[in-house]
Amino acid sequence: MTRLRCAIPDDYFDLALSVADWSRIRDRVDITVFKEPFANEAAAAHALKDFEIVCAMRERTAFPRSLFTALPKLKLLITSGMRNASIDSDAAKDRKIVYCGTQYTRDPTAPLTMGLILELTRGIGRENARMHAGEPWQVFAGTEIEGKTLGVVGLGKLGSKIAGLAKAFGMNVIAWSPNLTPEKCAEAGVGYASKEELFSTADIVTVHVVLSQRSRGLVGAADLARMKPTAYLVNTARGPIVDEDALLDVLRQKKIAGAGIDVFSVEPLPSDHPFRTLDNLVLTPHLGYATRESLGIHYSQMVDCIDAFTKGNEPPRRLA
């Protein structure tokens, strides 16, 4: 039997081979791990051109039609998650490439969102850095979130989970999204608000909608301008959902109290990006789903797909 080659790109944490049992397929498949992000599409094409199988991690490497064309040997593409806006699924189908996904059993993004909220309002990381730097004592007076209003943009599975956590902290919760109804809010135990009401009244706004052509720029300059000067914005969804230029402008001018951002339009975030210069912006490098447990689930399910595919069986969770 001809052995197949499997590429695991973008394993930033060097965890892929240790959190899943790849021994199940090593009798048929040779595995190569790429720990650093590809500089551009040409670099990705050069690195992946000899592989029949690719295990993609979220949107870290985009797969437009042009990249599929540059990978003539590709037979099986697996993405973490059951949707990936950076993969052209039509191109995969046209090229007769089997395209599969993996499922979450839980989403660790919700606790990270609350962590960003706590960092913005209590300055935990900031004060920790000062203590380690030898500073004498506290200088940052925090803000309590109990009794404050959290505005949730998108009340799906993740948004609903955030709402529950926020209520456990004693927060009032309101929600809005383009298709959200008062009835859905009532089911989740949160208040319904128009988009204008949410941005003008919430003390913290957190974004939890799926990236699509419809949601690109969903949070724009007019929305940010409505926010109170004491309010914070948190985005752990996808970078392009928020107008980054508009956000940069309101943060520079101190028109809002600050923001916590885990996702960006360009990832990894360029080292010279102006976001890195702002002291009222908490930045994390897309940590939302990146836990050992979550990655272990994704990579284990990728092994399942490869095992089935190489045995001539229909792989689970096929997308195209």
| CA of residue 42 relative to chain centroid, distance | 24
User: Hey, what are 235's tokens?
Assistant: 């985005």
Is the per-residue pLDDT at 150 higher than 70?
Answer: yes
The answer to whether the Cα torsion of 177, 179, 185, 187 is positive or negative is negative
Q: pTM higher than 0.85 for the full model?
A: yes
Question: What pLDDT digit, counting tens, does each position of 102-130 carry?
Answer: 998 778 999 999 999 999 999 999 999 99
Question: What pLDDT digit, counting tens, does each position of 75-103 carry?
Answer: 999 999 998 989 999 999 999 999 999 99
Is the per-residue pLDDT at 44 higher than 90?
Answer: yes
Is the per-residue pLDDT at 1 higher than 70?
Answer: no
Is the per-residue pLDDT at 140 higher than 90?
Answer: no
Catalytic member of 267, 273, 317, 318: 267
The question of whether 286 is a catalytic residue gets the answer: yes
Catalytic member of 58, 95, 208, 238: 238
Tokens 């300059």 appear where? 221
CA distances (Å), origin 158, targets 57, 135, 140, 194, 208 = 19, 38, 31, 20, 7
Which of the four pLDDT bands, split at 50, 70 and 90, describes residue 139? Answer: confident
Neighbours of 210 (CB within 10 A): 15
Q: What percent of the chain has pLDDT over 90?
A: 95
Q: Which amino acid is at 307?
A: D
Q: What percent of the chain has pLDDT over 70?
A: 100
Question: What pLDDT digit, counting tens, does each position of 179-210 carry?
Answer: 999 999 999 999 999 999 999 999 999 999 99
CA–CA–CA angle 303, 13, 127 (5° rounding): 140
Neighbours of 188 (CB within 10 A): 19
SS3 of the chain: the string is CCCEEEEECCCCCCCCCCCCCHHHCCCCEEEEECCCCCCCHHHHHHHHCCCCEEEECCCCCCECHHHHHCCCCCCEEEECCCCCCCECHHHHHHCCCEEEECCCCCCCHHHHHHHHHHHHHHCHHHHHHHHHCCCCCCCCCCCCCCCCEEEEECCCHHHHHHHHHHHHCCCEEEEECCCCCHHHHHHHCCEECCHHHHHHHCCEEEECCCCCCCCCCCECHHHHHHCCCCCEEEECCCHHHECHHHHHHHHHCCCCCEEEECCCCCCCCCCCCHHHHCCCEEECCCCCCCCHHHHHHHHHHHHHHHHHHHCCCCCCCECC
The question of whether 292 is a catalytic residue gets the answer: no
| CA of residue 194 relative to chain centroid, distance | 25
The question of whether 238 is a catalytic residue gets the answer: yes
Cα separation, 59 vs 260, in Å, equals 20
- pLDDT at position 58: 87
Tokens 């092994």 appear where? 303
Catalytic member of 95, 208, 286, 298: 286
Q: Which amino acid is at 170?
A: G
- pLDDT at position 272: 97
Is the per-residue pLDDT at 233 higher than 70?
Answer: yes
Cα separation, 281 vs 294, in Å, equals 27
Mean pLDDT score across all residues of the chain: 96
Which of the four pLDDT bands, split at 50, 70 and 90, describes residue 2? Answer: confident
Closest CA to 210 of 178, 252, 241, 171: 241
Question: What pLDDT digit, counting tens, does each position of 245-292 carry?
Answer: 999 999 999 999 999 999 999 999 999 999 999 999 999 999 998 899
